[in-house]
Amino acid sequence: MLENFSNFRILSFDCYGTLIDWEKGILGAVVPFLHSKNVKIPDETILELFAKFESEIESGNYIEYKEVLKRVFKNICESLTIKCDDKEQSLLLESFNNWEPFTDTVEALNLLKKHFKLAIISNVDDDLFELTRQKLGVNFDYVITAQQVRSYKPSSEVFKYALKKFGISRDQVLHIAQSLYHDIKPAKELGLSTVWVNRRMGRKGSGATPFAEASPDMEVPDLITLAQLIENTAM
C-alpha cells in the first residue's frame, strides 16, 4: 500500500481505458453497426472480442494502431459471420475522435499536475493521441507512444523506452493505469510502483482488456480518488 507519494517525480498514465472511456467509445461505434445488421449480442461480449483480437494483433509484427483498429473490427465481424466492406472496416478508427474522457479525468489531472510531472505511455499512434490531447486539459511533460517504440504494451520495451526518456530512477516513477494486462503486470515486473484505477469495479470480466493477475501497490475506483488522496497528503 502506498502511503508516501513525496518520492515520486513523474506520474505516468495509460490513456485509453484509464483517462479516456474507450469502452463507451467502442460500444458507441460497434453496437449501432451490429444492430443495423440485425445482430444483438451483450455489450460485454463485444468488449471481450475487442480485447481478444486487439491483443492478438498487437503481439505480432508491429503495425500502426490505425491498422490495428481496422483489423480488430474486421475480425469482430468475421467472428459474427457479418460481411463488412473496406469502408465499414474503418468504423472503429473513425469513431476514435469521439472517445471522451471519464468525467473525473480533467479535474484529477489538474490536481496532480500541481505536484508532479505527468507522462502518457499509450498503445497508440502519435497523430491519434493528438486528437485526444486537447481533451485532457493539461500539458503532459512526456508522451510515449507505441509508434515511437514500434512495440505495444505489455512489452517491457515500451516501459524501458519511457524510463530512458524520463532520465530518472524507476523508484521515482509511479505508473497509473486501468489494465492489469497491458500496464500493471509489466510495470511491476520492471520494479515500478503502480496504482490500479479499477474503472470496472462492480462489473464482471475485464472488458476491453484481456484478463491478467497482478498485484498493484494501490487500487482506486477512479482517478479523482487518487488525486484527492495525494492532495490531502501534500497539504
Active site residue ranges? 14
Instruction: Tell me phi and psi for residue 51, to 5 degrees.
Output: -60, -45
Contacts of 126 (CB under 8 A, 6+ apart): 143, 145, 147, 148
Name the strands in the sheet holding 142-145, side by side, starting at the edge strand that comes first in the sequence. 142-145, 117-122, 10-13, 173-177, 193-197, 218-220
Peptide bond into 154 cis (omega under 30): yes
Contacts of 166 (CB under 8 A, 6+ apart): 10, 119, 142, 173
Cell of 62: 508491429
Contact 73, 37 (CB under 8 A): no
Handedness of CA 122, 134, 50, 76 (dihedral sign): negative
